Amino acid sequence: MVNTSVTLSGIRLDNPIIPASGTFGFGYEFAELYDINCLGTFSFKGTTRAPRFGNPTPRIAEANAGMLNAVGLQNPGVDSVIAEELPKLKEVFHKPVIANVSGFSVEDYAYTCEKLDKEPQVGWLEVNISCPNVHNGGMSFGTSPEAAAQVTRAVKAVTTKPVYMKLSPNVTDIAAIARACEDAGADGISLINTLLAMRIDPRTRRPVLANGTGGLSGPAVFPVAVRMVYQVYEAVSIPVIGMGGVTSAEDVIELMLAGATAVEVGAANLTDPWACPKIIADLPRVMDKYGITNLEEIIGGAHHG
């Protein structure tokens, strides 16, 4: 009998599979398809201080082995999330959930996190300082160790729950930014977000996305995610949530060997709504294949030979 459970900042998960923010809404839409309580947890739609309509359309572009998105953090704002979305979520999901937070200033991040920290169902805060498709948005904080640390300190000063800083891959030294977050008090690191990318339509000779650029996700980015999770695991002593192009239980094992305690699944949910339960169901088989009886024992295993 294999043990698929892991512990994330003191909270036990039945398995390490977490649908990523922006690909799972607030959960209840997927609850119409299957019992989402089979998940370890999930990260709900990125939430900002004020409501956001998002970027103009088109917002999605196809790519080989992936997709580009420039949705632009469309969400109803933190007050509506607390008043309307979380009560609906509570009816269908009976575990702690990850609150994903974005902002446009340090004050924005602190305000939104302080509000969500008070919600009983929120188990962790995932602070997105890595969004590549919002002008003057969160990624400006995620590309500088000093700015990343500033946001981390501000959020930690007004919260009591574990804070995971979600980092951008669009940087030269991901380890330095992760260390800055840890030194500023972060409880964990989430990575990677999407890679800044572009498609151009030969007929119009213009970018396909109205925003010009967008975030590349899907299998194309998986090797980058493995590399960055590996580097961050070596750089910090706090837990890492790995993500980026995960489509299978084999991918989950690989990211955990690189150093991830838990694994988020993003774009795969958009092409197959049952992607996460399929991965969860296949985990015991893949564990048996590689002689793994306890998932927690392989975290960072690639670093130990």
Residues 133, 72 contacting (CB under 8 angstroms): yes
Alpha carbon distance 143, 40 (integer Å): 30
Residues 128, 112 contacting (CB under 8 angstroms): no
Find residue 217's DSSP bridge partners.
67
Residues 126, 101 contacting (CB under 8 angstroms): yes
Instruction: Please provide the DSSP assignment of 208-241 as one string.
Output: SSTTS-EEEESGGGHHHHHHHHHHHHHH-SS-EE
Indicate the DSSP class of residue 75. Answer: B
Catalytic residue among 113, 131, 181, 276: 131
Find residue 60's DSSP bridge partners.
69
Residues 21, 100 contacting (CB under 8 angstroms): yes
Q: Where are the beta strands (DSSP E) in the chain?
A: 6-8, 11-13, 17-19, 60-63, 66-69, 97-101, 122-128, 163-166, 188-191, 195-197, 200-201, 206-207, 214-217, 240-243, 262-265
Q: Is 90 exposed, middle or buried (0-12, 13-18, 19+ CB in 10 A)?
A: middle
Which candidate, 203, 231, 197, 235, places its Cα nearest to that of 217?
Answer: 197
Known catalytic membership, residue 38: no
Number of neighbouring beta carbons within 10 Å of residue 274:
13
Q: Which residues are catalytic?
A: 131
